[in-house]
């Protein structure tokens, strides 16, 4: 594989990472290779998936330019602070693509590291396939995300509640810098005892500054040298996260574990654990078996993003102003602006779902009223919007979806079409905009389960591959009649996704 690895991350002070090699596995076999992504990385996408490539993607072989590390980080998990780190992942390096991008290439499930705590350093095939599938869908929706380049079956068994086939995912990300990485830096500055390190306290924010400067260099180079760059960094990350979470809500995505260690500063979606998609619309939807409080429910994700960004802002305090009181005032003011910022992104996303290219004061009410109708009638989120996305639905809604014939819906429909008529764009143009914003297919939970069980129980990767192919272009016109639009039967319904990974 034609990797071209750099390792700029190792310019950070030593507590931020540990040099550690993957632990070889018994019998690696590539079961999924994302050739579209391989091509985008400038790799030979047609290269055979033989033992050499499998060995490299399993961590058994090391590319000459790779100097693997595990990254240290911390995070608030369900509200509680913990020291963490890559407990089962190795960053092979930052691949420099022919078109000048710098992308992290990480193996996940590649063995223990100093951050493994009591974990085995391994991953099971099912969750790694899920991550690949959902990430590919995100990418297809045009939503910033880490992606899966490959899944390698290890030929080893991992023990969770039951014995399961082991696997390693190759994950590609613009970086793995998390809000939790900043929390780790702030913990170093605060002199928190880090196992294996006796770093002196640096109240002036030495470690945080090093990480912030690195982040600016890597993700936001336009801010280099700006006197207000740290406040600008906070504002930019707030912007990215507001846009990201609004985009999730556009497609009905429930991340499931929005802990601060699962939130990137690049604004990419990361760590697909018990994630799933809303079907019958309900803002209280939760799938994760461990989220008993509904902390990360569908409709709560904007608030949780703000909560996480407040943790991010806290880490930046020493950099925002030398006077702690002034720094706090800056941070509080900025974080206080998040709800309005998020609402703007959310409304823009929802207007695009309704084909609205301009803005009117009553749009939020129009949107809320449709969501309310969907909630009351248990309508499918994806299909409702997709069924609305045609000229036919604008003129004769009942033909697009029999449920649209109900009087309460017709009342809303009249408001909507009157609103469409008031914008300069033609109906046809509005419908086109809607089909770009409203996917025809999503990785429906029962389809993901079906693909995963075929792979895990019968070694059959055909459903996974088919789903991956379909999700590469989820808004495509030709998919309207696809069986992937069908709702689960009662037996197929997925109410809970297991968090065990
Ligand atoms: P995640 O739920 O994947 O975001 O992981 C949360 C934390 O637990 C991260 O620090 C992981 O590296 C660590 N972790 C998860 N599973 C394992 C495992 N099997 N072995 C070691 N560490 C793990
Ligand atoms: Mg994580």
User: What is d(CA 165, CA 154) in angstroms, rounded to the nearest whole number?
Assistant: 8
pLDDT tens digits, one per residue of 289-305: 999 999 999 999 999 99
Residue 243 maps to a domain: no
For a pLDDT cut of 90, what percent of the chain falls above it? 90
3-state secondary structure 374-436: HHHHCCEHHHHHHHHCCHHHHHCHHHHCHHHHCHHHHHHHHHHHHHHHHCCCCHHHHHHHHHH
Domains: count for the chain = 2
- For ligand 1, say whether the CB of 84 is within 6 Å of any of its atoms: yes
pLDDT recorded at residue 17? 97
What's the mean pLDDT in 39-66? Answer: 92
Residue 22 maps to a domain: yes
Residue 262 maps to a domain: no
Per-residue confidence at 498, pLDDT binned at 50, 70, 90? low
Per-residue confidence at 228, pLDDT binned at 50, 70, 90? very high
In the three-class reduction of DSSP (H, G, I as helix; E, B as strand; rest coil), residue 45 is classed as coil
* H or E stretch at 71: strand 69-77
How far away, in angstroms, is 86 Cα from ligand 1 center?
7
Residue 229 maps to a domain: no
pLDDT recorded at residue 501? 66
Distances (CA, A) of 264 to 174, 177, 305, 327: 10, 6, 11, 23
Average pLDDT, the chain: 95
**Residue 460: closest CA among 102, 153, 106:** 153
Residue 81 maps to a domain: yes
- Residue where a domain stops, chosen among 136, 154, 184: 184
Residue 174 maps to a domain: yes
Exposure letters 80-98 (e unless 16+ CB within 10 A, then b) = eebbbbbbbbbbbbbbbee
Query: Which residue intervals of 59-154 are DSSP H helices?
Result: 125-140
Per-residue confidence at 202, pLDDT binned at 50, 70, 90? confident
- Residue where a domain stops, chosen among 393, 408, 437: 437
- For ligand 1, say whether the CB of 86 is within 6 Å of any of its atoms: yes
**Residue 446: closest CA among 287, 218, 292, 265:** 287
- Residue where a domain stops, chosen among 382, 402, 437: 437
pLDDT of residue 456 exceeding 60: yes
User: Atom 3, ligand 1: which residue's CA is nearest?
Assistant: 271
Provide the annotated active-site residues: 261
Domain of 402, in residue numbers: 354-437
User: What is d(CA 194, CA 455) in angstroms, rounded to the nearest whole number?
Assistant: 40
How far away, in angstroms, is 32 Cα from ligand 2 center?
22
3-state secondary structure 454-477: HHHHHCCCHHHHHHHHHHCCCCCH
- For ligand 1, say whether the CB of 50 is within 6 Å of any of its atoms: no
For a pLDDT cut of 70, what percent of the chain falls above it? 98
Query: In terms of pLDDT, which residue wins out, 196 or 12?
Result: 12
Per-residue confidence at 204, pLDDT binned at 50, 70, 90? confident
**Does the global pTM surpass 0.95?**
yes
How far away, in angstroms, is 48 Cα from ligand 1 center?
31
| Cβ atoms of residues 317 and 334 within 8 Å | no
Residue 429 maps to a domain: yes
Among 18-22, 124-128, 434-438, 480-484, where is mean pLDDT lowest?
A: 480-484
How is residue 100 written in tokens?
Answer: 């000048």
């Amino acid at each position: 594989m034609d990797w071209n690895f750099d390792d700029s991350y190792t310019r950070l002070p030593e507590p931020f990472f540990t040099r550690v090699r993957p632990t070889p596995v018994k019998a690696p076999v590539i079961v999924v290779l994302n050739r579209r992504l391989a091509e985008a990385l400038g790799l030979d996408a047609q290269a055979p998936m033989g033992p050499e490539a499998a060995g490299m993607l399993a961590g058994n072989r090391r590319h000459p330019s790779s100097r693997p590390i595990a990254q240290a980080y911390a995070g608030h998990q369900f509200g509680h602070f913990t020291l963490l780190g890559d407990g089962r992942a190795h960053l092979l390096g930052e691949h420099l693509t022919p078109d000048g991008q710098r992308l992290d290439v990480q193996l996940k499930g590649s063995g223990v590291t100093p951050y493994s705590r009591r974990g085995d350093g391994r991953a099971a095939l099912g969750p790694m396939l899920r991550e690949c599938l959902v990430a590919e869908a995100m990418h297809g929706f045009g939503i910033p995300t880490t992606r899966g380049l490959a899944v390698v079956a290890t030929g080893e068994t991992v023990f969770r509640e039951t014995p399961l086939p082991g696997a390693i995912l190759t994950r590609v990300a613009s970086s793995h810098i998390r809000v939790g990485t900043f929390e780790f830096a702030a913990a170093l500055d605060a002199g928190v005892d880090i196992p294996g390190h006796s770093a002196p306290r640096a109240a002036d924010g030495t470690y945080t500054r090093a990480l912030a400067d690195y982040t600016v260099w890597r993700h936001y180079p336009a801010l280099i040298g700006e006197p207000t760059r740290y406040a600008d960094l906070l504002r930019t990350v707030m912007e990215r996260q507001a846009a990201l979470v609004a985009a999730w809500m556009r497609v009905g995505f429930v991340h499931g574990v929005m802990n601060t260690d699962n939130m990137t500063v690049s604004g990419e979606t990361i760590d697909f654990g018990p994630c799933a998609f809303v079907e019958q619309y309900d803002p209280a939807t939760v799938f994760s078996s461990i989220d008993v409080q509904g902390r990360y429910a569908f409709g709560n994700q904007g608030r949780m993003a703000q909560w996480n960004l407040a943790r991010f802002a806290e880490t930046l305090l020493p950099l925002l102003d030398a006077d702690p009181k002034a720094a706090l005032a800056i941070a509080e003011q900025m974080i206080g602006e998040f709800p309005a910022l998020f609402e703007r992104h959310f409304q823009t996303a929802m207007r695009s779902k309704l084909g609205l290219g301009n803005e009117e004061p009553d749009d939020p009410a129009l949107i809320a009223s449709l969501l309310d109708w969907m909630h009351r009638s248990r309508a499918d989120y994806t299909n409702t919007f997709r069924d609305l996305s045609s000229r036919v639905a604008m003129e004769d809604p009942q033909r697009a979806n029999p449920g649209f014939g109900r009087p309460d819906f017709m009342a809303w429909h009249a408001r909507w079409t009157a609103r469409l008529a008031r914008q300069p764009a033609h109906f046809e143009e509005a419908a086109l905009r809607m089909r770009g914003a409203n996917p025809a297919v999503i990785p429906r939970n029962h389809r993901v389960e079906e693909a995963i069980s075929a792979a895990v129980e019968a070694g059959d990767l055909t459903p996974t591959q088919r789903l991956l192919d379909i999700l590469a272009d989820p808004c495509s016109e030709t998919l309207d009649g696809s069986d992937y639009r069908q709702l689960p039967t009662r037996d197929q319904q997925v109410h809970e996704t297991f968090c065990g990974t």
